[in-house]
Amino acid sequence: MAVSIRPTREEDHAAVVDLLTRRWTSPEILIEGEMIDGSRLPGFIAEDDGEMVGLVTIIKRESEWEILTLDSLNRWGGVGTLLLNAVVGSALENGIRRLMVRTSNDNLDAFRFYQRRGFRLEKVVFGAIDEERRLKPEIPLTGEYRIPIHDEVVFARTI
Q: Which residues fall within 8 angstroms of residue 50, CB to CB, at 6 or more apart?
A: none
pLDDT at 77 over 90: no
State residue 33's pLDDT score. 84
For the chain, the structural domain boundaries read 3-158
State residue 87's pLDDT score. 98
User: For the residues 125-135, what does the mean pLDDT come to?
Assistant: 94
Of 59, 47, 67, nearest in space to 4 by CA: 47
The 10s digit of each residue's pLDDT in 1-55 is 589 999 999 999 999 999 999 998 899 998 988 999 999 999 999 999 989 999 9
State residue 75's pLDDT score. 79
State residue 96's pLDDT score. 98
pLDDT at 132 over 80: yes
With beta carbons less than 8 A apart as the criterion, state whether 148 and 142 touch: yes
Return the DSSP state at 76. Answer: T
* Residues of the chain above pLDDT 70, percent: 99
User: For the residues 72-80, what does the mean pLDDT come to?
Assistant: 88
User: For the residues 85-111, what does the mean pLDDT come to?
Assistant: 97
State residue 92's pLDDT score. 97
Please, what's the b/e burial string for 142-155 (b: 16 or more CB within 10 A of its CB; e: otherwise)?
ebeeeeebbbbbbb
Give the C-alpha separation, 131 to 129, whole Å: 5
pTM for the complete prediction?
Answer: 0.93
DSSP 85-153: HHHHHHHHHTT--EEEEEEETT-HHHHHHHHHTT-EEEEEETTHHHHHHHH-TTS-SB-GGGPBP--EE
User: What is the dihedral sign for C-alpha 33, 38, 41, 46?
Assistant: positive
Superfamily classification of domain 3-158: Gcn5-related N-acetyltransferase (GNAT) (3.40.630.30)
State residue 1's pLDDT score. 59
